[in-house]
Chain A
Amino acid sequence: MAGVAGPATGSGAAGGDGDDSLYPIAVLIDELRNEDVQLRLNSIKKLSTIALALGVERTRTELLPFLTDTIYDEDEVLLALAEQLGNFTGLVGGPDFAHCLLPPLESLATVEETVVRDKAVESLRQISQEHTPVALEAHFVPLVKRLASGDWFTSRTSACGLFSVCYPRASIAVKGEIRQYFRSLCSDDTPMVRRAAASKLGEFAKVLELDSVKSEIVPLFTNLASDEQDSVRLLAVEACVSIAQLLSQDDIEALVMPTLRQAAEDKSWRVRYMVADKFSELQKAVGPKITLNDLIPAFQNLLKDCEAEVRAAAAHKVKELCENLPMEGRETMIMNQILPYIKELVSDTNQHVKSALASVIMGLSTILGKENTIEHLLPLFLAQLKDECPEVRLNIISNLDCVNEVIGIRQLSQSLLPAIVELAEDAKWRVRLAIIEYMPLLAGQLGVEFFDEKLNSLCMAWLVDHVYAIREAATNNLMKLVQKFGTEWAQNTIVPKVLVMANDPNYLHRMTTLFCINALSEACGQEITTKQMLPIVLKMAGDQVANVRFNVAKSLQKIGPILDTDALQEEVKPVLQKLGQDEDMDVKYFAQEAISAVAQRLRKLDFPVKDSEEPSAPGADKNHFLRPRGPGEDTGKVLPLISRHKETEWLEWLPRRQQRQPSLGVQVQPRDQHISCT
C-alpha cells in the first residue's frame, strides 16, 4: 500500500523513488517517542509533514488515536501538540472530518498544566468554527457537555471556555442546554471551576440574546460577585465590564451597579484592588452619567483606601480616569473632585503609592493646561522631586516630557538639578543606572549649555563608578550624548576627559577609556578617531595589566572599520602583531582575532568585492551576564502585590586575573582587588 497520498507537495509526494522521500518521515515518526524531549518536540512541530505523508485516511485512523493517548509527555511537547492540532483540519480531510480532532484535544484539555489546557481550548475554539452546524451539534456540543460534567475540575475549567463558540450556532433546544451547563459550572463546588466560569462570563454574555443576559447571566454574575472566595469575586469585576457594555443605561443602573458598588466596598482588599485596576474599563462601560454619579465617589474612596495596594492601583489610574471624563466640565471636576485626593497621596506613607502616582501625575498637566499646572500641579511635582524615595523621583524625571510640552522644563530646573544629582549619587546602583538612562532625554530637553554647566561632570563621574554595570551604562550614555550634541561638542568636552583616564593608576579606569573609545569612535567619525583616540589605544598596548592589553586588541578590532587603510597598515597592524607575541594567552588570542579581522578588512579594501557584513568582535560581549535583569519581569498571573523581598546588590564585576607584578608601585584601589591568586 502506498503510504503517501497527500496533496502534491515537494516533500511528501509519493513517486518512483518513494524510499528516499519516506525515510525522513519515518525518522520523524520514530522520533515522536524519542527519549530526547527536543527531538520529540521537533517531531511534533512537524506533525503536519507526517500527516501529509500519511494521507488523510491514515492520519484519522492511526495518527490521531496515537496522539490521543500521548498525554504523558512533557508540557512543552503537549503545548506544541495542542497548537498543531488547531490547524489540522485540512490534514484530516477538511471540515467534514474536523470532529476527528476532538478526541486528542479533549484529552489535552484535561491535563493539569494550565498553559497546555488553555492552548487546547484555543485550538478547540478554532476547530469549532470549521464544523458545520450539524456536525457541531453531533460532535462538538457533546464534547463540551462531557468536559463540563467531567469528574475532575481540569476538564470542567476547560469547558468554560468553549460555551461561547458553540452557542451562536446551536439550535434553540441545544442553546437551552448549553445555558444550563454553564449555570451549573458557575455554582461548581471547586473554586477553580467557578473562577474559570467567572472569567468567561463576559464572553458568554456577549453571544447570548439580550433577554437571556438579563434573565440568566445577571443572576449568575450577582452570585459570583458574592462568592465566598475572594478569588472568584474579583473576577466578577472583570465580567462587570463586558456585561455593562451589553445593557442600556437603565439596566446597568438596575442590574449591574448594585453589584459594582458592593465590589468597590468589598471586605477583601483584593476585590477593591481589582475595581481600581479595571477602573478605566468600567468607566467606559457604564458611560459618563453613571461615572459622575457613582464611579467618581467610589474612586475617591479607593484613593484613600486603607490598603496601600488599592491606593497604588487607583493612583495608577488617575490620569486615564481624568482623560476619559467628558470634555464638558472636565477641568472643574478634576480640580474639585480629584485633585484634593491627589494632594494627599503626594505625602502618602507608602512609597509604592507615591511612586505609582509619580508615574502618572505629570500626564495631568496636558489635561489641565498651563495655568492650573503652574498653580496646582507644580508644587506637587516639586514635592515629589524632593521625595525621600528614589523611585518617586525617578518616575517624575522619566515623565518630564509631558510637562515640557505644557510649561517648559525651565520651571522645574531649580528643583530638578538637586534631585538628579542626588539620584546620580544614590547608594543603590540600580537607581544610578536608572537615572543614567534618562540622561540623553534630559540633555535634549535642557539643552547643551545647561547640560555642560551642570550635568557633564556627573556623566564623567559615572565612568569611574565602582560598579561595572554603571561604567558600562555611562559609556553608552556618552555615545548617545554625542549623537545628540554632535562631534564638535564631543571633541571639546568629552574626548579629552576620556583620554586622560588612559593614564589612571587604576587599570579598571584605563579599561573604561577603551570601552568609551569603542562606543564613541563610530559617533565621532574617522578624523577624531584616527587623530585623537588611536594614539592613546596604541600606547595602551604596552600596559602592564593583561586585561588592558587584550582589551586594546578588542578595541582595535572594533575601531578598525572606521580607520583608513594607511592607519591600519602602518599603525594598527604592527601593534597587533606585537600583541600577538604577548606572553599572555588571552592577549594572544584576542590579538589574533583582531589581526584576522583587520586583514580581512585590508583585503576587502584592496579588492572591494562586495560590501558584506563587517567581522563582528566575538569577545566584545563577554560581560553580558553582568547586566542586571529588567526590574519588572511580570508574569502577569497573580495580583501584583508589593513584594518585600529585598534586592541584593549585584556582584561587582570581578576581573579575571591578577596583575603579574604588583610591586611596580601601581596603586590599585582596594575595592578592585577581588583577584584570584596565581
Chain B
Amino acid sequence: MVPCNYRAQDDEESWVEVPRTLGCLLQSSLQSNMLGPWCSPTGSPAPLSCETGCGEGTWILVCRLLVPTQVSLLSMEEDIDTRKINNSFLRDHSYATEADIISTVEFNHTGELLATGDKGGRVVIFQREQESKNQVHRRGEYNVYSTFQSHEPEFDYLKSLEIEEKINKIRWLPQQNAAYFLLSTNDKTVKLWKVSERDKRPEGYNLKDEEGRLRDPATITTLRVPVLRPMDLMVEATPRRVFANAHTYHINSISVNSDYETYMSADDLRINLWNFEITNQSFNIVDIKPANMEELTEVITAAEFHPHHCNTFVYSSSKGTIRLCDMRASALCDRHTKFFEEPEDPSNRSFFSEIISSISDVKFSHSGRCIMTRDYLTVKVWDLNMENRPVETYQVHDYLRSKLCSLYENDCIFDKFECVWNGSDSVIMTGSYNNFFRMFDRNTKRDVTLEASRENSKPRAILKPRKVCVGGKRRKDEISVDSLDFSKKILHTAWHPSENIIAVAATNNLYIFQDKVN
C-alpha cells in the first residue's frame, strides 16, 4: 500500500456560527401513540447528565467530510500540492460514484480516530483536530489522517464468483503500542491493518553524495553511519495479516473479543473464530447450515462479542431472534445458552411480517447488560436476563408500515440499518430514509428526528428536528410520508465512545455532529 500523507484542508471555507436555540421543538416531536407498548426499563432511570445523556439535546454540525474520490486520490499521490485543487472535487456531488458510497463507520476506542469504509474497498481514517486556542470552534473537527485501499475486486475462479471490494465492516483493535490496528472485511476476506506514524528518516549514504550521485569507491576513506533526521509526519498503512478462505458465504460481521487475542467473523450460515496471530486456520463455532439447503429457514444477520466476558457472544437471525452462546460450555456453539424472541403480535401479521422482523444489527451495550437489535421498523433493547420480550421497543419510522408494499418493490425493505449506543448507554441512535436519523433517550423516553443533509446544514449550524406528518393535515415544517426520498438512507452511524459526538454516513458524505453543550 502506498503510504499516503494527507489531511483535508478546510481553511478556505468560512465557518458561520448560527446562534439560535430550538428548545421547544423537542416537546412537539414526542409522539404519544408511541409510548403505548413500551415497557419501562428495569431499574430506576439514571439522572440525566449533560455530558452523556443529552440524546435529544441540541446538535450542531461539526463538519461534513467527503471521502476523497478516486480521482483526487490518484492525483494526490502524484503531487501533494495539488490537493488543494482536489479539495474542490470533494465538495462536488457530481463526482460521487458508486465506489464512494460509505459502507461502514467506526470510532476507535478513544474516539480520536474515525474510520470509514466504502464500496470501492477504501478505508479512510479521520483524526480529531487537537484543540487550539485561536480556533476554539474547530475542536471536535475531524480531518483525513490516512487513506488506503483495503480490498480489491477479486474473482473466485473455482466458483466463478465475483468478490466485491466493498468494505462490510471495520473494527478497531484495542491499542497495543503507538500504532493503530484495525480489521476490515469484505464479503470473503478479513484483513488486519496497521496504521502508524513516521516522523524520522535516515540520511547519509556511503556510496552516494547528498544529491544522490554515486561516489567513486576509491574516495571512500571513512565509513558513515546513517543518521535519523526529523521529517514531515507521514502516516502509513500496512497490511499485517490476511485472514482468507474460511467463508463460503458473505461475511456480515466481525467482532473483536475482550481477550484481545481472538475475533470472530460471521457469514450467513457460519461463525468462525480466529486468533490474530494465525491466518491459516480458524475454528468454526456456529454452523446453522442444514444438511439439505432446501430446509434453510433462517440466516445469521449479525454477531457480536460481549464487551467484557470473553466467552459470551450473540448472533441475530433473519427471523428476528437473538441467540446468546457461551464458549465455555462447549467448543461448538451450535446450541445456544439463551434465546431471545418476542412472541408475534397476530394483529400485525402480514405478508411482510417475516421480512421486517429480520434483525439487521445487534449491539451489546457498553455495560454488557443489554443488547440492542434493529429490525426494519423498530429498535429493541433486551435485558440479558429476560429472554421472552424486549424491555424497550422504539418505533423508528412506523409511518412506513402502510408503504411496505412499495418498499418491497423497490427493495428498500431489505435495507440493513445499523444502530448504536451512546457512551453511557442512555441514548440510542439509528438511521432512516430521507437522510433522517433518529435518537431515543432511554431515560426520558424522548426521541428526535434529525436530518443529515447538505442543503440545510452549514458548519456549526444547529440541527433542526424534523417531523414526518402522519395523517391528513400537514403542518409547517413537516414532511409528508409520500415525499420522503427513499434513495437517501442513513444505514451507518457511529457514536463517540465517551463524548456526544456522532458520525453519520449519508451516501458519500460523512457528517460529524456534536452536542451544543460541548
Q: Is B378 an interface residue (CB 8 A)?
A: no
Q: Is B498 an interface residue (CB 8 A)?
A: no
A25, B275: Cβ atoms under 8 Å? no
Asked whether A27 and B331 contact (CB < 8 A) given A54-B223, A66-B202, the answer is no
Query: When chains A and B are docked, how far (Å) is the Cα of A336 from the Cα of B43?
Result: 56
B223, A30: Cβ atoms under 8 Å? no
Nearest 4 A-B pairs (CB), nearest first? Answer: A26-B206, A268-B328, A62-B225, A152-B177
Contacts of B228 in A (CB 8 A): 65-66, 69
Jot down 17 A-B pairs with beta carbons below 8 A, ordered by A: A26-B217, A30-B205, A30-B206, A62-B227, A69-B228, A190-B260, A191-B261, A228-B310, A230-B327, A230-B328, A267-B329, A309-B331, A637-B275, A637-B278, A638-B278, A643-B281, A643-B283
B221, A642: Cβ atoms under 8 Å? no
Query: When chains A and B are docked, how far (Å) is the Cα of A20 from the Cα of B330?
Result: 68
Query: When chains A and B are docked, how far (Å) is the Cα of A159 from the Cα of B287?
Result: 40
Q: Is B226 an interface residue (CB 8 A)?
A: yes
A111, B261: Cβ atoms under 8 Å? no
Asked whether A22 and B177 contact (CB < 8 A) given A112-B194, A643-B283, the answer is no
A19, B220: Cβ atoms under 8 Å? yes
A307, B330: Cβ atoms under 8 Å? yes
Encode A611-648 as 1/0 by CB contact (under 8 A) with B.
00000000000000000000001010110011111000
B281 to chain A, nearest CB (A): 6
B223, A267: Cβ atoms under 8 Å? no
Contacts of B186 in A (CB 8 A): none
Asked whether A153 and B330 contact (CB < 8 A) given A23-B217, A66-B225, A635-B280, the answer is no
A112, B177: Cβ atoms under 8 Å? yes
Indicate the member of B198, B240, B310, B331 with the most A CB atoms within 10 Å.
Answer: B331
Q: Is A154 an interface residue (CB 8 A)?
A: yes
B205, A192: Cβ atoms under 8 Å? no
Q: Is A29 an interface residue (CB 8 A)?
A: yes
Which A464-478 residues have C-beta < 8 A from chain B? none
Interface size on A, residues (CB 8 A): 58
Indicate the member of A25, A152, A633 with the most B CB atoms within 10 Å.
Answer: A152
B196, A72: Cβ atoms under 8 Å? yes
A600 to chain B, nearest CB (A): 42
Query: When chains A and B are docked, how far (Å) is the Cα of A27 from the Cα of B215?
Result: 12
Encode A40-66 as 1/0 by CB contact (under 8 A) with B.
000000000000011000100011011
B225, A27: Cβ atoms under 8 Å? no
A231, B284: Cβ atoms under 8 Å? no
B251 to chain A, nearest CB (A): 16
A345 to chain B, nearest CB (A): 17
Contact of A192 among B196, B218, B221, B261 (CB under 8 A): B261
Residue of B nearest to A156 (CB): B176
B residues at A contact (CB < 8 Å): 174-179, 181, 194, 196, 198, 200, 202, 205-208, 217-218, 220-228, 240, 246, 258-261, 275, 277-278, 280-284, 287, 308-311, 327-332
B281, A29: Cβ atoms under 8 Å? no
B213 to chain A, nearest CB (A): 14
Residue of B nearest to A110 (CB): B177
A307, B331: Cβ atoms under 8 Å? yes
A191, B259: Cβ atoms under 8 Å? yes
Indicate the member of A112, A153, A633, A641 with the most B CB atoms within 10 Å.
Answer: A112
Contacts of B282 in A (CB 8 A): 643
A642, B331: Cβ atoms under 8 Å? yes
Contacts of A25 in B (CB 8 A): 223
A22, B223: Cβ atoms under 8 Å? yes
Contacts of A270 in B (CB 8 A): 327-328
Contacts of A268 in B (CB 8 A): 311, 327-328
A23, B259: Cβ atoms under 8 Å? no
Contacts of B330 in A (CB 8 A): 269, 306-307
Query: When chains A and B are docked, how far (Å) is the Cα of A648 from the Cα of B367?
Result: 43
Query: When chains A and B are docked, how far (Å) is the Cα of A32 from the Cα of B174?
Result: 32
Encode A239-272 as 1/0 by CB contact (under 8 A) with B.
0000000000000000000000000000111100
Dominant SS at the B interface?
loop
Residue of A nearest to B174 (CB): A190
A residues at B contact (CB < 8 Å): 1-4, 18-19, 22-23, 25-27, 29-30, 32-33, 53-54, 58, 62-63, 65-66, 69-70, 72, 110-112, 114, 152-155, 190-192, 195, 228-231, 267-270, 306-309, 633, 635, 637-638, 641-645
Asked whether A644 and B287 contact (CB < 8 A) given A110-B177, A191-B259, the answer is yes
B281, A635: Cβ atoms under 8 Å? yes
Query: When chains A and B are docked, how far (Å) is the Cα of A153 from the Cα of B177?
Result: 7
Query: When chains A and B are docked, how far (Å) is the Cα of A224 from the Cα of B375?
Result: 41
Asked whether A308 and B331 contact (CB < 8 A) given A25-B223, A29-B206, the answer is yes
A638, B275: Cβ atoms under 8 Å? yes
A19, B218: Cβ atoms under 8 Å? yes
A58, B311: Cβ atoms under 8 Å? no
Contacts of B226 in A (CB 8 A): 29, 32-33, 66
Query: When chains A and B are docked, how far (Å) is the Cα of A150 from the Cα of B111?
Result: 21
Query: When chains A and B are docked, how far (Å) is the Cα of A54 from the Cα of B223?
Result: 7
Residue of B nearest to A29 (CB): B206
Query: When chains A and B are docked, how far (Å) is the Cα of A86 from the Cα of B208?
Result: 31
A19, B217: Cβ atoms under 8 Å? yes
Asked whether A641 and B310 contact (CB < 8 A) given A29-B226, A69-B228, the answer is no
B268 to chain A, nearest CB (A): 16
Contacts of A53 in B (CB 8 A): 223
Asked whether A155 and B177 contact (CB < 8 A) given A192-B261, A641-B283, the answer is yes
B309, A228: Cβ atoms under 8 Å? yes
Residue of A nearest to B279 (CB): A635
Residue of B nearest to A55 (CB): B223
Contact of B260 among A54, A66, A69, A191 (CB under 8 A): A191
Contacts of A4 in B (CB 8 A): 223
Contacts of B220 in A (CB 8 A): 19, 22-23, 26
Query: When chains A and B are docked, how far (Å) is the Cα of A191 from the Cα of B309?
Result: 11
A18, B221: Cβ atoms under 8 Å? yes
Asked whether A643 and B202 contact (CB < 8 A) given A23-B220, A270-B328, A637-B275, the answer is no
B181, A112: Cβ atoms under 8 Å? yes
B284, A643: Cβ atoms under 8 Å? yes
B227, A66: Cβ atoms under 8 Å? yes
Query: When chains A and B are docked, how far (Å) is the Cα of A242 from the Cα of B266?
Result: 39
A192, B260: Cβ atoms under 8 Å? yes
Query: When chains A and B are docked, how far (Å) is the Cα of A32 from the Cα of B207?
Result: 13
Q: A3-B223, A230-B328 are in contact. List 12 more A-B contacts (CB 8 A).
A: A2-B222, A19-B218, A19-B220, A26-B224, A65-B228, A66-B226, A72-B198, A190-B174, A191-B259, A195-B261, A267-B328, A633-B280
Contacts of B283 in A (CB 8 A): 641, 643-644
B179, A112: Cβ atoms under 8 Å? yes
Residue of A nearest to B203 (CB): A33
Query: When chains A and B are docked, how far (Å) is the Cα of A228 from the Cα of B311?
Result: 10
Contacts of A231 in B (CB 8 A): 259, 261, 310
B38 to chain A, nearest CB (A): 34
Contacts of B208 in A (CB 8 A): 30
Contacts of A638 in B (CB 8 A): 275, 278, 281
Query: When chains A and B are docked, how far (Å) is the Cα of A19 from the Cα of B217?
Result: 7
Query: When chains A and B are docked, how far (Å) is the Cα of A351 from the Cα of B518?
Result: 61
Query: When chains A and B are docked, how far (Å) is the Cα of A583 from the Cα of B90?
Result: 64
Contact of A26 among B202, B223, B240, B278 (CB under 8 A): B223
Query: When chains A and B are docked, how far (Å) is the Cα of A638 from the Cα of B263?
Result: 13
B224, A637: Cβ atoms under 8 Å? no
